[in-house]
Amino acid sequence: MKKSGAGVGRLAKQHRLQASAERLSKESRFNHEECKVLLYIFDKITAFGDLDRLRMREILHTTFQITDDVMLDLVYKAFDRDNDGVVSDAEWVRGLSTMIRGDIDQLTEHCYFVYDMNGDGSLAREELTHCLKGCILAGYGLDQEEVEDCERDIVEICMKKLDMDRDGQITFPDFQNAVMEDPLMLQAIGPCLPGANAIASFLSLITDKFRRYTETYGRRWVRKKKQSMASARRSLRNIQAAVSVMNANAKNEQMSLATVAIMKSRMSVKY
């Protein structure tokens, strides 16, 4: 009887996993089979406890090679979107989907969310200072005071590069425009995305298509930038055409008014 009960429990668990994989395959960039494996991995990870901040930091550090101490906490926050202190199975799959296979817009949104420490929708100089703290190490002829000076200089450079409208705050449109201008600015405030080798190694656990991931600075970015520039050129041409039509209409209207005035003057002279 116990064996039968255990079998029923396993069957129910498999049904739940299948249903979750089906649902998440529609909400992420992983297919059904990949979602099943990710959920199985999640089940093994959480067999002895919830996937809390410390355990998620360890996974991000050892598996995805995100080693910056500040970034580990901030990337964990990007996974735990409901801010309940643990990463759920759905947050696990969605977070990996964005980080590994997200499109350009999703990666940009992910990085901005990571850097926006207080969640107010803009990046202040203080947030950049906190994110970039420790990016320069003392030693090799640099004392601590010189390191702090270098960090301040880097913060100022990032502000100049990312604050496109020069209002002292880096809004999401500022960040988006700066990234489209130069994809290297995507992680200018801190390394919050895994490298290509780490991604390929992880994907090899769940699929044979382990090279199917978004290249951070690859051809998609160039194509996106070209599309953006082409769209801007089309908009400019449309504006120029509209201005030309308006000028032509105004000119015709002026000519019509002049013609009426001449005719009136001739009629007054005649009569």
Do 196 and 143 lie in a common domain? yes
Q: Is the residue at 179 inside a domain?
A: yes
Residue 116's nearest CA partner among 124, 104, 108 is 124
Q: What is the pLDDT of residue 136?
A: 83
Do 82 and 199 lie in a common domain? yes
State the total domains in the chain. 2
Do 91 and 159 lie in a common domain? yes
Do 157 and 265 lie in a common domain? no
Q: Tell me, what DSSP letter sits at residue 38?
A: H
Do 119 and 251 lie in a common domain? no
Q: Output the 3-class SS for 147-176.
A: HHHHHHHHHHHHHHHHCCCCCCCEEHHHHH
Say if CB 42 and CB 51 are below 8 A apart.
yes
Q: Is the residue at 24 inside a domain?
A: no
Q: What is the pLDDT of residue 127?
A: 95
Q: Is the residue at 15 inside a domain?
A: no
d(CA 179, CA 173): 10
Do 54 and 90 lie in a common domain? yes
Q: Is the residue at 53 inside a domain?
A: yes
Q: What is the pLDDT of residue 220?
A: 58
Q: What is the pLDDT of residue 35?
A: 96
d(CA 105, CA 126): 25
Do 197 and 247 lie in a common domain? no
Do 212 and 83 lie in a common domain? yes
Do 180 and 240 lie in a common domain? no
Instruction: Please list the rounded mean pLDDT of every run of 10 residues in the chain (271 residues).
Output: 62 88 95 96 94 96 94 97 96 96 93 95 94 82 85 94 91 94 92 92 86 65 59 66 67 61 54 42
Range of the domain at 103: 49-217
Do 269 and 195 lie in a common domain? no
CATH label of the domain that carries residue 115: 1.10.238.10
Q: What is the pLDDT of residue 218?
A: 54
| CB contact set of 151 (below 8 Å; sequence gap of 6+) | 129, 132, 133, 135, 136
Q: What is the pLDDT of residue 188?
A: 93
Region of 133 please: left (phi>0), alpha (psi -120 to 50) or beta.
Answer: beta
Do 264 and 144 lie in a common domain? no
Do 179 and 253 lie in a common domain? no
For residue 146, the number of C-alpha atoms closer than 13 Å in the C-beta half-sphere is 7
